Amino acid sequence: MSRISLDPPRTLRYRLLSWFSRRKFGAELDPARAMGHHLGVVTGYGMLEMSVLRWNAVPHRLKDLAVMASAVKIGCSWCVDFGTWESVTRGIPLEKLEAVPRWRESDLFDEDERLVLEYAEAMTADPPVVTDELIEGLRRYLDERQLVELTMMVALENLRSRFNAAAGLTGQGFKDRCEAVPVGVKLGKV
């Protein structure tokens, strides 16, 4: 049960957002429904998310793993559900995503992925525990521009996960859609 009503006022702006969400994702996203009670928040947040789609310095596989590690550490079941679906549509194997909570014991991750997962967890800790040594390890794989993008992706996922967890949002069944997607097959519109 969400702590914020998922039935916002049906203003014209909200109805447009709702239509876009159903068209792009096949459902109204619960975070947008909760934010819909404050049109300034949902509009500003939506603009941020739209701009993030144009960030392309860091490979999606690394960003997706960082986002998943942050969502898992915070405990946002909505973010894990949606993030799993979104990552699978970009070709990341479901098995790898499901191994994120125990990445240290898994042999599914490359060295650059392990560093990104460690960085995401270190950034998400309260207080953050990022070390100079960790940054130096990342610099073997990422330039300054990429490091800025990765850092902002983890910070953004902290924003998403903390809002969703505080609002009491849980999964919407996006991960269930992954079972029908063969590994490596990229989906179009849902």
For position 86, which CATH number holds? 1.20.1290.10
Q: Look at residue 94 in the predicted model and tell me its pLDDT.
A: 95
Instruction: Quote the percentage of the chain above a pLDDT of 90.
Output: 92
111 contact partners, CB below 8 Å, separation of at least 6: none
pLDDT digits (tens, 9 = 90+) for 128-147: 999 999 999 999 999 999 99
| pLDDT at position 158 over 80 | yes
Q: What is the average per-residue pLDDT within 114-137?
A: 98
Q: Within this chain, do residues 23 and 106 fall inside the same structural domain, yes or no?
A: no
Whether 9 contacts 36, CB under 8 Å: yes
Q: Within this chain, do residues 80 and 100 fall inside the same structural domain, yes or no?
A: yes
Instruction: Give the range of the structural domain holding residue 34, as residue numbers without chain letter.
Output: 12-52
Question: Would residue 1 count as lying in a domain?
Answer: no
Question: Would residue 6 count as lying in a domain?
Answer: no
Q: Within this chain, do residues 82 and 24 fall inside the same structural domain, yes or no?
A: no
Q: What is the average per-residue pLDDT within 77-106?
A: 97
Question: Measuring CA to CA, how many Å separate 101 from each of 9, 56, 66, 68, 151?
Answer: 38, 25, 11, 9, 20
Q: Within this chain, do residues 75 and 154 fall inside the same structural domain, yes or no?
A: yes
Rounded distance between C-alpha atoms, residue 187 and residue 89, angstroms:
5
Q: Within this chain, do residues 122 and 37 fall inside the same structural domain, yes or no?
A: no
pTM of the model: 0.90
Q: Look at residue 107 in the predicted model and tell me its pLDDT.
A: 97
Question: Would residue 2 count as lying in a domain?
Answer: no
Instruction: Quote the percentage of the chain above a pLDDT of 70.
Output: 94
Q: Within this chain, do residues 18 and 47 fall inside the same structural domain, yes or no?
A: yes
Q: Look at residue 190 in the predicted model and tell me its pLDDT.
A: 28
Q: Within this chain, do residues 136 and 155 fall inside the same structural domain, yes or no?
A: yes
Rounded distance between C-alpha atoms, residue 83 and residue 67, angstroms:
8
Q: What is the average per-residue pLDDT within 112-129?
A: 98
State the greatest distance between any 2 C-alpha atoms of the chain, in Å, as a whole number: 50
| 185: DSSP letter | P
| pLDDT at position 187 over 60 | no
Q: Look at residue 178 in the predicted model and tell me its pLDDT.
A: 84
Counting the structural domains of the chain, the total is: 2
Q: For residue 21, how many C-alpha atoms fall within 13 Å in the half-sphere facing its CB?
A: 17
Cα-based angle 177, 85, 114 (whole degrees, multiple of 5):
140
What integer best gives the mean pLDDT of the chain? 93
Question: Measuring CA to CA, how many Å separate 171 from each of 36, 68, 165?
Answer: 18, 14, 11
pLDDT confidence bin for 81, thresholds 50/70/90: very high
What sign for the dihedral angle of Cα 159, 160, 162, 163?
A: positive
Question: Measuring CA to CA, how many Å separate 182 from each of 90, 92, 141, 172, 174?
Answer: 12, 11, 29, 21, 15
Three-state DSSP class for 36?
coil
Question: Would residue 4 count as lying in a domain?
Answer: no
Q: Look at residue 84 in the predicted model and tell me its pLDDT.
A: 97
Q: Within this chain, do residues 159 and 69 fall inside the same structural domain, yes or no?
A: yes
Question: Would residue 184 count as lying in a domain?
Answer: no
Q: What is the average per-residue pLDDT within 166-190?
A: 69
110 contact partners, CB below 8 Å, separation of at least 6: none
